Amino acid sequence: MDSAVHYEKTLSSEVIFEGRVITLTNDVALLENGETAGREVVHHHGGACILPYFEDGTICMVRQFRYAMQQELWELPAGKLEKGEDPFLAAQRELEEECGLTADHYTSLGQFYPTVGYDTEIIYMWVATGLHKTQMHLDDDEFLTPDRVPLQKAYEMVMSGEIKDGKTIAGVLKLKALLDEGKL
């Protein structure tokens, strides 16, 4: 399914803002009808997400205040990638940093594009099994609480709208589907 029918070609790109986490460009794109259009693009190095799944059917999620949304959210452990960082190694790091866990096995859940309309971010996702307790190592500006939740309860929280974070919704639904299909 790689034969793209629709396209846009970048004609110019001007950096408007360059920060620690994102770069914002103002682009001009050539559309397939020959016209041009302005495009504002947020460039992001991406993120890694890990879904710790215990033998008893629980998962580890974290509760964390998200400044942009001005509320505490339920999320899967995740973190941003440094430029060129291996997403799998970052996911392993986040498992230990945010949950105090290591794992024997990892199963890829693929990639997730959280905001395709204006953002280049890609989140890489894994399920971690064969979990072992170790120490949490939060960043100095990171405050969160890990909590074990039955997968069925997390699924109900997704379906009721209590969980609003896109990567968490995708991860919980993918894990449930894999388990229901006997693929994990």
Domains in the chain: boundaries: 9-44, 47-181
Provide mean pLDDT across the span 82-98: 96
Would you place residue 181 in the very low, low, confident or very high pLDDT band (cuts 50, 70, 90)?
very high
Quick one: pLDDT at residue 139? 85
Query: What is the C-alpha separation between 122 and 8, in angstroms, rounded?
Result: 20
> Element (H or E) spanning 14, and its range?
strand 8-18
Quick one: pLDDT at residue 4? 85
Q: pTM of the prediction?
A: 0.93
pLDDT tens figures, 147-166: 999 999 999 999 999 999 99
Quick one: pLDDT at residue 26? 98
User: Span 47-181: which CATH code?
Assistant: 3.90.79.10
